[in-house]
Amino acid sequence: MELILIKDVENLGFKDEVVTVKSGYGRNFLIPQGFAMLATDSAKKVLAENLRQRAHKEKEEIDNAKHMVERLKDVEIKLFAKVGQGNKLFGSVNNADLANALAEKGVDIDKRFIQIYGGTVKALGTYSAKIRLHREVSAEIEFEVNKENK
């Protein structure tokens, strides 16, 4: 089933994207919740016209996202957590913790657009994450989880 997203949907896409999903997910969740609408031929034409009109603004957003990627290359992120035996964390480090660490460095990114490879972090070490800044621009960052000193 093809749908046009009305709002950003985590792990699916951004507003005004045409996505293909299973029928039940679209019919029972996305459409009733107001996240998407059916991608009929006329709706696709309207979407194409709207995107054409917003092309200049879109270019500016892409340039800002690319600038943000350059800023992210210079940011070194170290997270600290309580550790038990064998370098295993008490709890875990997730995308919200990473978003907070980035905010402390002056880079505000919504936690919904951060994806840590392998899910949540449960041990000390160096990890990678993907940050989607725009539907066409994403960045890879590395961060380190260290032992909290107390």
Domain-wise residue ranges, the chain: 2-53, 64-147
Rg (CA), the chain: 19
What are the CA-CA distances from residue 132 to residues 4, 34, 78, 108, 110 (Å)?
19, 23, 20, 13, 10
CATH no. for 64-147: 3.10.430.100
Return mean pLDDT, the chain: 90
Ramachandran angles phi, psi of 11, nearest 5°: 60, 15
Interval 74-102 mean pLDDT: 89
Q: Given this chain, do its domains 2-53 and 64-147 carry the same CATH topology?
A: no
The residue-averaged pLDDT of 38-49 equals 93
Q: 16, 53 in Cβ contact below 8 A?
A: no
pLDDT band at 150 (very low <50, low <70, confident <90, very high): low
Phi, psi of 5 (to 5 degrees): -75, 130
Q: What is the mean pLDDT of residues 12-31?
A: 93
DSSP 8-state class, residue 79: E
| Class of domain 2-53 (CATH, top level) | alpha beta
* 129 pLDDT tier (thresholds 50, 70, 90): very high
Contact predicate 3/39, CB 8 Å: yes
- The percent of residues above 70 in pLDDT, for the chain, comes to 99
58 HSE (CA, 13 A, CB side): 12
Q: Return the minimum-mean-pLDDT range out of 40-49, 53-62, 111-120, 134-143.
A: 53-62
pLDDT attached to residue 142? 92
